[in-house]
């Protein structure tokens, strides 16, 4: 029950971020609309002033404003309407652009806001599975990074690693080609690979050298698991093996030196692009 309440609170916080973004976009759009309305109202008043300047009514004229609209009131005898006697030349037509640009505000409104929302959304190819995290590891709220802060007692479950600071990715793969990148930060004691959950056995390789970012390519159909230095774009190692079933990303996160702050190992976010095309 405690875990359910904690998860419910996290979900509410994530949705509140989206709500806050939408409220901000709504406020900004309404402010732009009000500014344009004020500007064009001024243009209309100016045009009416020019119109009154070239017309000489037979009765006194009063410009009456109500709710942002302008009316011409003519003082008449016994409330009868009379024509305005214009003695000047025909006035120029009201210039274009007096109306509000409705399409600018309502055209594809939801789609345009959704595209802007991509700037605040982080997308990762998969998350860390906190249910598999060993007692040494702490997973961030967004499930995209993990740190080794020392051993602590956790609820035991069959999915959890118990003998080493290891954790699995949440998404398993059995067919197709998949790739992801991992930011190691300054962690020097780490391993990455793939594991078959059914047997809980892992295949990994300890990489040497000053690596900060590792790219992993998994080809399930060809039975290949390749590692690259993502910064230098160089190949590190490739495993060749036919995978027996669904495999999951596997990570070993070693401890930090005494007195040093724990460093996070993070799954790198994807670059999301929107492709627009005409219907066929």
The model's pLDDT over 125-140, given as tens digits with 9 standing for 90+, comes to 999 999 999 999 999 9
Confidence of residue 77 (pLDDT cuts 50, 70, 90): very low
Q: DSSP letters along the chain, please?
A: -HHHHHHHHHHHHHHHHHHHHHHHHHHHHHHHHHHHHHHHHHHHHHHHHHHHHH---SS-EEEEEETTEEEEEE--GGG--------SPPPPPPPS--S--HHHHHTTHHHHHHHHHTTT----S--B-GGG--TTEEE-TTSSEEEE---------TTS--SSSEEEBS--BSSSEEEEEEE-TT--SEEEEEEETTTTEEEEE---S--SEEEEEEETTTTEEEEEETTTTEEEEEEE----S-EEEEEEE----TTSPPPEEEEPPP----------
Lowest-confidence segment of 45-59, 92-106, 245-259 by average pLDDT: 45-59
Choose among 142, 144, 151: nearest CA to 255.
151
> By CB neighbour count within 10 A (0-12 exposed, 13-18 middle, 19+ buried), where does 79 fall?
exposed
Strand order in the sheet with 137-139: 137-139, 145-148, 264-267, 177-183, 213-219, 224-229, 234-240
- 49-63, 187-201, 214-228 — most confident range: 214-228
Rounded mean pLDDT of 179-197?
75
Assigned token pair, 234 = 């160089």
Instruction: Between 59 and 36, name the one with better pLDDT.
Output: 36
pTM comes to: 0.69
d(CA 245, CA 247): 6
Tell me the pLDDT of the chain averaged across its residues.
Answer: 80
Q: Is the pLDDT of residue 144 over 90?
A: yes
pLDDT of residue 200: 46
Q: Is the pLDDT of residue 238 over 80?
A: yes
């Amino acid at each position: 029950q405690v875990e359910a309440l904690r998860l419910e609170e996290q979900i509410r916080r994530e949705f509140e971020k989206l709500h806050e973004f939408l409220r901000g976009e709504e406020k900004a759009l309404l402010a732009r609309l009000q500014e344009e309305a004020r500007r064009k109202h001024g243009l209309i008043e100016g045009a009416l002033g020019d119109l009154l300047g070239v017309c000489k009514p037979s009765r006194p004229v009063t410009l009456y404003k109500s709710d942002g609209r302008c009316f011409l009131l003519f003082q008449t005898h016994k409330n009868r309407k009379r024509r305005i006697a214009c003695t000047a030349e025909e006035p120029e037509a009201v210039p274009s652009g007096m109306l509000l640009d409705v399409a600018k505000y309502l055209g594809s409104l939801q789609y345009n806001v959704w595209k802007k929302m991509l700037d605040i959304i982080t997308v990762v190819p998969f998350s860390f599975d906190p249910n598999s995290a060993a007692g040494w590891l702490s997973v961030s709220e967004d499930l995209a990074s993990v740190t080794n802060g020392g051993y602590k007692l956790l609820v035991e479950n069959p999915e959890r690693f118990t003998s080493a600071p290891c954790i699995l990715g949440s998404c398993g793969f059995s067919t197709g080609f998949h790739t992801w990148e991992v930011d190691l930060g300054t962690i020097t004691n780490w391993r990455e690979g793939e594991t078959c959950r059914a047997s809980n056995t892992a295949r990994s390789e300890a990489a040497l050298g000053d690596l900060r970012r590792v790219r992993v390519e998994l080809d399930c159909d060809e039975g290949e698991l390749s590692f690259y230095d993502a910064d230098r774009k160089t190949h590190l190692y490739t495993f060749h093996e036919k995978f027996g079933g669904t495999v999951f990303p596997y990570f070993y996160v070693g401890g930090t030196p005494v007195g040093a702050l724990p460093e996070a190992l993070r799954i790198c976010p994807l670059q999301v692009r929107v492709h627009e095309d005409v219907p066929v």
